[in-house]
Chains A and B, each alone.
Chain A
Amino acid sequence: MRDTRRARWAATALGLTAALTLAGCAGDSEPEAGASESASGMTPVKLQLQWLTQAQFSGYYAALAEGFYADEGLDVEILPSGGDVVPQDALANGEVDYAVAWVPKVLGSIEQGADIVDVAQIFERSATLQVAFADSGIDSVEDLAGKKIGSWGYGNEWELFAGLNKAGVTDVEIVQQAFDMNAFLAGDIDAAQAMTYNEYAQLLEAENPETGELYQPEDFTVIDWNEEGTAMLQDAIWADQGRLADDEEYAETTVKFLKATIRGWAFARDNPQEAADHVTKAGSTLGTSHQLWMTNEVNKLIWPSTGGIGHIDEAAWDATVEMSLQTSNETGATIISEEPAEPAFTNEYVDRALAELEEEGVDVTGADFEPVDVTLEPGGA
């Protein structure tokens, strides 16, 4: 009896040791390490991204790693998002100070009562594509008629529907698309949604079973919403409207935050490999070539910048609002039902930031920007 009892206690001790050891191992990757005590005099700032840590946000991570935020006296914490975190809601609820989100999605939230404003339009161009196999006969939006079209939904589908509406195509089958391109490669989807900086690269990193080599750009046809005229504004920085009006300090912080962020994006433009490495170091598991591809493609969305990075082009804004009013999805719903009562954007802060940066000699338009050549490796390695 005593022996078995001792054996049981030994087993318990073993269990406890195992648990403690495992917990100890976890110590290195402490999830809470990011939220440090703000150093004296630094203004704590929380930025909510709209997706996982990846080079889509390389400018913010570069600004953090290169110390641009610290130079402005800001202690910035970048919060990646997950499946169910809506950045504009987190901002409207006062959980964070700034958020990165697509304009049409936020217009919907603003109509629902979110009091937030676009203070910098980082991406000038849209990255959304609809990709088909070259031999599918899909070369234009009209060819989508009668086809199975992939879309992620959740507000990512509006450019597609704007394009379909514009071309008068109605008889399509919308298929819910997963994070990977398997359904497209297997033929369940005729034309799949893809971002230039992510899913399109996934295709070019996959092996073509017919050749045994990676797929080539010639294997696909691409519908680019920038060319179809139904591109909507994507990644923008949003701030709390009420706080901007009442809180002098927040307004000043906004200018500083935008200045440092723009420095970060200029760094990513001039040093794409270093910027990609900063993102990987910040905790992204994307492969090296995929990360660089993403940095490069995102650079193309920003540079060259027509009015200086972040400056909101009124015509593009109006076009996005107009499409948000007119475009109906497969259920007949539109993003917004009436024009926003007040314009949900302001150039006040970004223009100040741009003026100060230009004085300091920072190139904020990137007029002679040239993208780099990225060779994708199998699996994005």
Chain B
Amino acid sequence: MRRAGAAVARPARSVGLGLAALALVVAAWEGYKLLAPDDGWLVGEVRLLPRTSDLAMPHVSDMLARLVEPVTGAAGAPALWVAVVQACAASLRVAAVGWVLGVGVGLVLAVLMQRVRLAERAALPFVVLSQTVPLIALAPLVKSWGSKLELGAFEWQGWMSVAVIASYLAFFPVAVGALRGLQSPDAIHRELLTSYGAGWWQALVHLHLPASVPYLLPALRLAAAAAVVGTVVAEVSTGLPGGVGRMILELANFASSDPAKPWAPIFGAIALGLVASGVVALLGAPLGRYRRAEVTA
């Protein structure tokens, strides 16, 4: 009974804490805007603190008010927040594909590296190295390769390039996290299974995979956030229409004439990251009983 009570209280508390943190950010934004000079703070030529003008930092109330106004003056234009939510949904779909792809590749890599020591030595440096390739260099390459791919009736679509780039960012935390998790059981546990005559597969299923869960769950959440970032950046980079990344680029046009407007898709992208990571947390809930291992690890 105590457990059930705690399970209810915990989400309520974390929601409360989240709201408090949000209020703190709003207060910091408005407080800085109120106290700091309009032109920011310069030491010589170097700007140490940003400007606080309405152009650079619109009031929170203005940004919220802008959300409910129509996107453009065109007849029948939806409210800005509706357009942002639509763009976010389009991005989330691509990010989800990227996440699934990235998690799959990451898990396979981790199991391979755990199984074959040589693979770990050979692959791990490249896994780390892969993350140092700047996205802006990678994006046009992926797009170019994809558009030349021909497999019968299958035709490469623009969103697939974006999903591949998202998976490129998403596989890394999974590969590294899962590898640490798979390697986490103590020698004594492995020896126990060996003494039972358990093969590699049985050891993987009964010992290594359950033991990797506490490492895997945060890695999956990180991967979700990475997939969202990858999607947003790749949308900007490859010019895929419809998503929130592209919207950030498009609305940047209005930073001078409608300063509150460009902030809307930025909030959308933040919300998208939170939603993605929240959905992954929910998906991971049934694995919760394996988290006990966290205590002994």
Contact = CB atoms under 8 A, between A and B. Distances in A.
A9 interface: yes
Given A35-B155, A82-B246, A378-B258, A14 B140 contact: no
A79 interface: yes
Interface in B36-88: 39, 51, 53, 55-56, 71-74, 83, 85-87
A378 B257 contact: yes
A53 B255 CA distance: 18
A159 B75 CA distance: 39
A18 B74 contact: no
Contact of B239 (A9, A15, A81, A205): A81
Contacts of A207: 257
A287 B89 contact: no
Contact of A31 (B240, B258, B283, B289): B240
Interface in B232-252: 235-243, 246-247, 249-252
A116 to B, nearest CB: 15
Contacts of A84: 136, 139-140, 237-238
Contact of A83 (B93, B236, B283, B286): B236
Interface stretch (A181-189, A240-248, A296-304, A358-366): A181-189
Contacts of B90: 26, 29, 31
Contacts of B71: 285
Interface string B264-282: 0000000000010011111
Interface stretch (A85-93, A253-261, A325-333): A85-93
Given A15-B279, A23-B96, A5 B286 contact: yes
A179 B253 contact: yes
A134 interface: no
A94 to B, nearest CB: 7
Given A18-B282, A80-B239, A287 B256 contact: no
- Looking at A93, A198, A286, A381, which has the most chain B CB atoms within 10 Å of its CB? A381
B282 A198 contact: no
A84 B143 CA distance: 10
A221 to B, nearest CB: 18
Contact of A90 (B144, B159, B235, B251): B144
Contacts of A8: 285-286, 288
Contacts of A182: 55-56, 255-256
B187 interface: no
B7 interface: yes
Given A32-B159, A52-B246, A285-B247, A14 B254 contact: no
A316 interface: no
B257 A206 contact: yes
Please indicate which of the listed interface residues A4, A7, A82, A86 has the most CB atoms of chain B within 10 Å of its own CB: A82
B7 A4 contact: yes
B56 A82 contact: no
Interface of B: 3-4, 7, 39, 51, 53, 55-56, 71-74, 83, 85-87, 89-90, 92-94, 96, 136, 139-140, 143-144, 147-148, 155, 157-159, 235-243, 246-247, 249-258, 261-262, 275, 278-283, 285-286, 288-289
In the A-B complex, the 6 residue pairs with the closest CB atoms: A82-B239, A15-B282, A379-B258, A180-B255, A381-B73, A205-B257
